[in-house]
Structure formats: C-alpha cells, structure tokens
Amino acid sequence: MMSHLIKGRNRVIFWVLAPEAAEVRICGDFNGWDGKHLLKRKPGGFWEKTLTLQPGRYEYKFQVDGAWYLDSGNPGKNDVCDNNLGARNHVIIING
C-alpha cells in the first residue's frame, strides 16, 4: 500500500494506492476517529478524499478494510507520534 497527501489553502487531498481494497477511510482527530470520511475509488487502484481542515495540528491514519495504516506518503515521514493505544499516528499541520 502506498499513500500520499497534498496540502494547499486548508484543503488536504489524501490518497492511497490499495488496488485490492474494498473500502478505505481516513480517520483522525479532525473527525473524531469515527471513519465517516470514505475515500472514493479512482482508476488504477487509487483511493482519494479531499478535506478542508482549519489551521491546526491533526493526528490521523488510514483504515483499509478495517486495518489501520500510517500514511507512507506523508512528506514528513518522521511526523508521527505515539497514541494512547500503544501504536503510532501520523501528524499533519495546517498553517493558516
């Protein structure tokens, strides 16, 4: 699985290459970790979702067919933090 995000003017495009997936979600503290943001399947096995986020620091992960994944395409590959479940989350910072 490969993923990536693109930031610009508070819009964030999250995408994942997961050709075998039946469902992909983006979960984070920006949506209460509830997985309500489904990514849309695109040609070539890509999944994509654009979100508009207010300036701030957000933790997030992808959920692919129920399994949790870090964002391997995050430009700051070391921008991760520990979570309270003993795992890691990715961090994105949106500047105003």
From residue 2, alpha-carbon distances to 29, 39, 57, 60 in Å are 22, 14, 23, 15
pLDDT-flagged residues of the chain (< 50): 1-3
38-53, pLDDT tens digit by residue?
999 999 999 999 998 8
Q: Domains of the chain, with CATH numbers? A: 2-94 (2.60.40.10)
From residue 59, alpha-carbon distances to 42, 43, 71, 82 in Å are 25, 28, 11, 10
Residue 77: per-residue pLDDT: 57
pTM over 0.85: no
Residue 95: per-residue pLDDT: 80
Q: 66-70: long-range contacts at Cβ-Cβ below 8 A with a sequence spacing of 24 or more?
A: 69/1, 69/3, 69/16
